[in-house]
Structure 1
């Protein structure tokens, strides 16, 4: 995949980042509504869920200060999603499994954006994929921790692997010098599909409890 240069690269990364920020903010705010947080708590959760993965990515690759802190658009997008959810959560919740759907969308967008940004900073392709995965799972981890839940990535669910699959598609496209935009669409779609199918069909990784049960 040919990494676009100049304004094209900035625009692509910004669009992916802000889209991921919005949908992860929705997932965080919806989770806050379900836990009956107040207005301020919902806004805090929406910002934390939306930007934690991107902040971790930028710090790790040396893109400091992180975009989520230095660019006002990230704060505005996250807070707008939080306000929208607070006042219209009943309409948003009509989407079946809305929190999980928005979480899957955020996971896909951030995994792709994180990998592309890592490649743009000339990281090793394998490590770029790992960083893309970290970018995707970061927001969900912080959201779950703030709600005193075990993060989905640490349970038996197919979560981090879905992000890694999307990231590897981006890396493969880079190594094959394919156009970045179509590769990004395919990678995000693959990640989203894996996550949603895992939820619908209850696909899970082996856990210590399941191994113990078979041992009996």
Structure 2
């Protein structure tokens, strides 16, 4: 595809992400838990840009385990940690990545979604967003509780993870970290820009 067409299709998808009605609007309001304003961050990061990403293996909602190192040499990886299913910001963030699938594919990247919820909860939540679920793996860091979040240094004192993004290149090196204010979701544009920088 010509570069100018790729550019315009990317812009169109970004506009869809900004202006589309969030998928969680389909979930009955009574099922969305309102946690209120939370402390922006509540953890101590244990990894840094330029380091090798700690490897892990976690169960997914498909019933299969997914190992981070299995993507090495094949795909850039965007780890998206979210605090909890059935909460407003989380229920807006991941549907946006569903709409933007093409942008991640153009940058040879896959998302891995992780929370400390159990697998049945994650399954129900993602299928409430869309009857087909989400296109990327959703992994449960439920037991041992928050083990991977602890490994990265993003487990909060109340037992949920920070809202965090780690971008890992094909060599397994961490290239971007955003420990985001838990009350808002990370900007998709910054994630895509970081992926483009990796692919230069």
Structure number having the greater helix percentage: 1
Structure number having the greater strand percentage: 2
Using structure 1 for the length normalisation, give the TM-score. Answer: 0.31
Whose radius of gyration is greater, 1 or 2? 1
Q: Which has the higher contact order (CA 8 A, sep 6+)?
A: 2
